[in-house]
């Protein structure tokens, strides 16, 4: 049984081909590679793949990509196209839905919210053991809720998204705007408006998520959190100013312990109906 799992975000495409106990991992830039083009290439090198699971940093529904603010899209009907070309079943879900699935399994929780800060700002919620999806699998798209107007343009086309303030791509855009040197380490920006506004926006995002989702566990993850571990302490200290107090009672705030939660969640997509 050979399987291909992919996590595709705004900067990287990470994959695993699993063949029994053998695992082949690959990481490449997602800005230069289309998803279908990559699958074509892997199948050429690894025939007899019988399932493909994908964690996708964009809006997806029933095997179709609807939009992706940070990724070049080379086909929208990805599941249909792979099935037509190769007869291989393909499961694809939003990367945060995949991540929260993996986090729920790790923390053994039926009530958990994931807040991930990487290239984008994403969230997903599992309530009573099921992912909260909304009518088109877009519930909790927290990065693109209106926050504050800015001189920048978000990947979704608007200028007031939370993601412009609290994400890796947001930091990069502000640094370009102020003609400052590139960095994702907020401590190097301490005292600057960028770090202050990032912290404020992250607290706002966590407060909204906890107040609306009312989870038992809020788990933080993503590259920007990994690179700036002080953010977890900041949230522990100040979240009560941003969330409805009863929603915080008995709620635990955890840091993701998984190497790549979206990819781990993509492995749970086969035969999954949650
Ligand atoms: Zn946006």
Q: Strand 59-61 vs strand 112-117: parallel, antiparallel, or unpaired? A: unpaired
Distances (CA, A) of 193 to 8, 34, 165: 31, 36, 10
Ligand 1 centroid – CA 121 distance (Å): 10
Q: What are the structure tokens assigned to 232, written together?
A: 């977890």
pLDDT by residue, tens only, the chain of 274 residues:
899 999 999 889 999 999 999 999 999 998 888 899 999 999 999 989 999 999 999 999 999 999 987 788 889 999 999 999 999 999 999 999 999 999 999 999 999 999 999 989 999 999 999 999 999 999 999 999 999 999 999 988 999 999 999 999 999 999 999 999 888 888 888 778 999 999 999 999 999 999 999 999 999 999 999 999 999 999 999 999 999 999 999 999 999 999 999 999 999 999 764 4
- The Cα–Cα gap between 183 and 186 comes to 8
Domains delineated in the chain? 2-94 (3.30.420.40), 97-255 (3.30.420.40)
Ligand 1 centroid – CA 150 distance (Å): 12
Ligand 1 centroid – CA 24 distance (Å): 35
Ligand 1 centroid – CA 10 distance (Å): 14
Ligand 1 centroid – CA 62 distance (Å): 23
Ligand 1 centroid – CA 241 distance (Å): 25
User: Which residues, 6+ apart, have CB-to-CB distance to 2 below 8 Å?
Assistant: 17, 18, 19, 46, 48, 49, 50
Q: pLDDT tens digits, residue range 223-250?
A: 999 999 999 999 999 999 999 999 999 9
Evaluate whether 75 touches 29 at the Cβ level (below 8 Å): no
List the one residue out of 99, 56, 93, 61 whose CA is nearest residue 77: 61
User: Which residues, 6+ apart, have CB-to-CB distance to 146 below 8 Å?
Assistant: 158, 160, 161, 162
- The Cα–Cα gap between 194 and 171 comes to 7
Q: What is the pTM of this model?
A: 0.93
User: Which residues, 6+ apart, have CB-to-CB distance to 203 below 8 Å?
Assistant: 234, 235, 238, 239, 241, 242
Residue 10 pLDDT = 84
Residue 51 pLDDT = 97
List the one residue out of 142, 118, 131, 128 whose CA is nearest residue 206: 142
**DSSP reduced 3-state for 248:** helix
Residue 274 pLDDT = 46
- The Cα–Cα gap between 227 and 115 comes to 15
Residue 42 has phi, psi (to 5 degrees) of: -65, -40
Residue 31 pLDDT = 84
- The Cα–Cα gap between 192 and 7 comes to 33
């Amino acid at each position: 049984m050979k399987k291909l799992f992919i996590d595709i975000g705004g900067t990287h495409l990470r994959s695993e081909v699993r063949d029994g106990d053998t695992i082949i991992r690959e990481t490449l830039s997602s800005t230069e590679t289309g998803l279908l083009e990559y699958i074509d290439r892997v199948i050429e090198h690894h025939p007899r793949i019988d399932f493909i699971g994908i964690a996708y940093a964009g809006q997806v529904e029933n095997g179709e990509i609807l939009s992706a603010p940070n990724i070049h899209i080379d086909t929208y009907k990805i599941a249909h196209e792979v099935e037509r070309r190769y007869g291989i079943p393909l499961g694809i879900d939003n990367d945060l839905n995949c991540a929260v699935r993996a986090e729920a399994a790790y923390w053994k929780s039926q009530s958990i919210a994931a807040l991930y800060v990487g290239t984008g700002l994403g969230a997903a919620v599992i309530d009573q053991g099921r992912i909260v999806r909304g009518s088109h699998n877009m519930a909790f798209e927290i990065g693109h809720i209106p926050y504050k107007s800015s001189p920048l343009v978000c990947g979704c086309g608007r200028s007031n998204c939370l993601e412009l303030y609290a994400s890796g791509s947001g930091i990069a855009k502000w640094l370009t705007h102020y003609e400052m040197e590139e960095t994702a380490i907020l401590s190097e920006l301490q005292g600057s408006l960028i770090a202050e506004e990032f912290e404020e926006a992250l607290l706002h995002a966590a407060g909204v998520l906890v107040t609306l989702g009312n989870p038992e566990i809020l788990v933080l993850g993503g590259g920007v959190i990994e690179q700036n571990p002080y953010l977890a302490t900041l949230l522990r200290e100040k979240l009560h100013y941003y969330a409805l107090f009863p929603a915080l009672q008995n709620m635990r705030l955890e840091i993701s312990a998984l190497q790549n939660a979206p990819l781990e969640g993509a492995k749970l997509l086969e035969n999954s109906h949650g």
